[in-house]
Amino acid sequence: MSAETITTDDEYALELVDLRREFGDKVAVDDVTVRVPRGSFYGLVGPNGAGKTTALSMAVGLLRPSSGRASVEGIDVWADPVAAKRHLGVLPDGLALPERLTGGELLTYWGRFRGMDATAVASRSAELIRILELEEAETLGTLVGEYSTGMRKKIGLATALLHAPSVLVLDEPYEAVDPVSARVLTRILRRFTASGGSIVISSHVMSLVEQLCDRVAIVAAGRVVADGTLDEVRSGETLEDRFVELVGAPDVDEEELSWIGS
Ligand SMILES: Nc1ncnc2c1ncn2[C@@H]1O[C@H](COP(=O)(O)OP(=O)(O)OP(=O)(O)O)[C@@H](O)[C@H]1O
């Protein structure tokens, strides 16, 4: 799998500028600016409800921003979504999949829908299914609707990779994935960046982000509270300590929740 060659001079694979999204009175994403340099492995971290999924959804053309702009490889996602999406592989949150297809059928459908050549779809699908350890399910004719949570995540990743995009945007790619598959996934993602591709992941697992990402943004209450290289953001601490320091953690007094276990 090699990342597609990009001809634009733009130095950013993904650029979000003053992105904002309101839901009624709630400001979910509050003028967020994030720049992902080409070839980087970028981690977006933040507590539950911080606005990560909302920001990423706007970045990839799934959710219209209230204001601001998003571009992929220099192409405005909302002005020219078809061109921008050609460069993008996306694993959205709560991925809706055709439930009545097997994993292999889903990849075939997806690849052909994207206008890929049938031979390339067949060989890449078989490779992805084997590498992501979905072969047995395929042999048994297991439908995607019968997949476990982790298997759904893996077939979702396969759809994101199939057309060899240059930018991957993956919302919680490791969630519910077993340790063996996680290693495989890490190998795939590392190879992707080594061949020039760019990746943005959201994650709650700080150790994983420290291990994988060279750049990080911490998002809290819809705003970026720190961003830069991993070392800049950590500033001599662990990412988890820095995260808790910036985001804050509520105290739990001795008396509180005393009914638990009573
Ligand atoms: N469709 C929606 N309608 C109303 N509010 C929404 C909608 N989607 C998100 N929100 C709100 O926007 C805020 C940000 O949500 P978002 O899902 O982006 O957070 P997140 O950082 O991805 O959280 P998590 O880590 O729990 O997945 C939350 O307060 C959420 O309730």
Residues having CB closer than 6 A to ligand 1 are 23, 26, 28, 46, 48-54
Q: Select from 25, 30, 45, 52 the residue to mutate for testing ligand 1; criterion: most ligand atoms less than 8 Å from CB.
A: 52
Burial-class residue 69 by CB neighbours within 10 Å (0-12, 13-18, 19+): middle
pLDDT computed for residue 10 by the predictor:
67
The first and second tokens of residue 42, run together, are 């970028």
Residue 184, CA atoms < 13 Å, CB-side half-sphere: 16
Question: Regarding beta strands 88-91 and 41-45, do their DSSP bridges make them parallel or antiparallel, or are they unpaired?
Answer: unpaired
ipTM field: 0.97
Ligand 1: centre distance to CA 222 (Å): 9
What is the amino acid identity at position 163? H
Looking at ligand 1, which atom is closest to the CA of residue 48?
Answer: 26
pLDDT computed for residue 254 by the predictor:
73
Residue 249, CA atoms < 13 Å, CB-side half-sphere: 9
For the entire predicted model, the pTM comes to 0.91
Looking at ligand 1, which atom is closest to the CA of residue 172?
Answer: 27
What's the DSSP call for residue 102?
A: B
Candidates 177, 95, 90, 164; CA nearest to 123 is 164
Question: pLDDT tens string for the chain (262 positions)?
Answer: 444 444 445 689 999 999 999 999 999 999 999 999 999 999 999 999 999 999 999 999 999 999 999 999 999 999 999 999 999 999 988 778 889 999 999 999 999 998 999 999 999 999 999 999 999 999 999 999 999 988 999 999 999 999 999 999 999 999 888 898 889 899 999 999 999 999 999 998 899 999 999 999 999 999 999 999 999 999 999 999 999 999 887 777 777 887 887 7
Ligand 1: residue whose CA is nearest its atom 4: 23
Ligand 1: centre distance to CA 27 (Å): 10
CA distances from 126 to 89, 114, 116, 119, 135 (A): 18, 17, 15, 11, 8
The CATH number fitting domain 1-79+182-248, selected from 1.10.1070.11, 3.40.50.300, 3.40.47.10, 3.90.1720.10: 3.40.50.300
The Cα 63–Cα 171 span in angstroms is 14
Ligand 1: residue whose CA is nearest its atom 24: 48
Q: What is the DSSP string of 36-72?
A: EETT-EEEEE--TTSSHHHHHHHHTTSS--SEEEEEE
What is the amino acid identity at position 175? E
Task: Delimit the CATH 3.40.50.300 region(s) of the chain.
Answer: 1-79+182-248
Ligand 1: centre distance to CA 62 (Å): 14
